[in-house]
Amino acid sequence: MTILVTGGAGFIGTHLTKRLLDEGHIVLAVDNFCSNYDPELKRRNVANFKNQPGYYLFEGDIRESHFLHLLFGTYPVDAVIHLAGLAGVRPSLQKPAAYFDTNVTGTVTLLQTMQDFKVDKMVFASSSSVYGERNETPFRESDLIEGLASPYAISKRTGEMVIQNAHQLYGLNAYCLRFFTVYGPNQRPDMAISSFIRRLFAGERIQLFGTGQSVRDYTYVNDIVAGIVRAVERVSGFEIINLGSGRPIALIDLVRHLEYFTGRKARIEYRPDQLGDVSRTFADLSKAAQLLGYQPRVLLEEGLQRMVNGFQAEQTFLLEEK
């Protein structure tokens, strides 16, 4: 299968690309290498793929219709895995217009191009953020969505809605996958676990918002990738599906785990609750198990150990390069 992966140079995108290539698929990776974090990190992510058979990298923006039409007109695309977009709850509070432009306008432009070229299979990266603040757990796909807490969450929910509309109007087959706090090697440097590991080894303070009792359903990237691959193989009709670990943990307990794996004591600075954040996430995985055969396999302790090992290996490599 020839699969177009938007956001193909990002954290999840590069892990996904490796899996797709290993399974014999052709990957058309699209990324605009924007500066929301260091573009050189993304270029390093894709460096190992450049000489692999079946891999093609295109630098361009999904909001540009001409770019997409040229790409779809040149290569026979069987399915699209749409990961591209601005990520992060807190940054979206500062620049909501950019989030709606990229995450909504970009998705609409991509959907229009797919319709023009009669490509009828999409897997979309949504987010647990769409559930907003709620007390009842675990979060189920059938839950009423209201009270979204950030522009990022609204942009992702809007993406789901325009994709559902394309299904209703044009017969698009689409699965919207709600990711629950994805972590693993090469995670974006602004995300909590990457930041905590870096700060622990540097002896810098770690900022925890609130009391440290906020709860997240952390999901290892290999499990997310397995769910995405199964989704693109099985996509039919329209569905919203959670992908998580189903094992939520409090933020302060996460820090204690990282102290153990790094051998460093955290210097914690408590800050007021952050606007846009929610107190908990917790994925119900029964629908993912039923439709995708999805079962997360990497326990948090194992995943954190892999991240710490990866960070140490990277630091050793950088020292040797100097």
Instruction: Give the catalytic positions in this structure.
Output: 152
CA pair distance 57, 21, nearest whole angstrom: 13
Comparing C-alpha atoms, which of 273, 252, 285, 280 is closest to residue 129? Answer: 280
Cβ-Cβ contacts under 8 Å for 239 (sequence gap 6 or more)? 141, 174, 175, 176, 287, 291
Neighbours of 39 (CB within 10 A): 15
Report which DSSP code applies to 238: E
Q: What's the full length of the chain, in residues? A: 322
Q: Where are the beta strands (DSSP E) in the chain?
A: 2-6, 26-31, 55-59, 79-82, 121-127, 173-179, 182-183, 205-209, 215-216, 219-220, 238-243, 249-250, 267-271
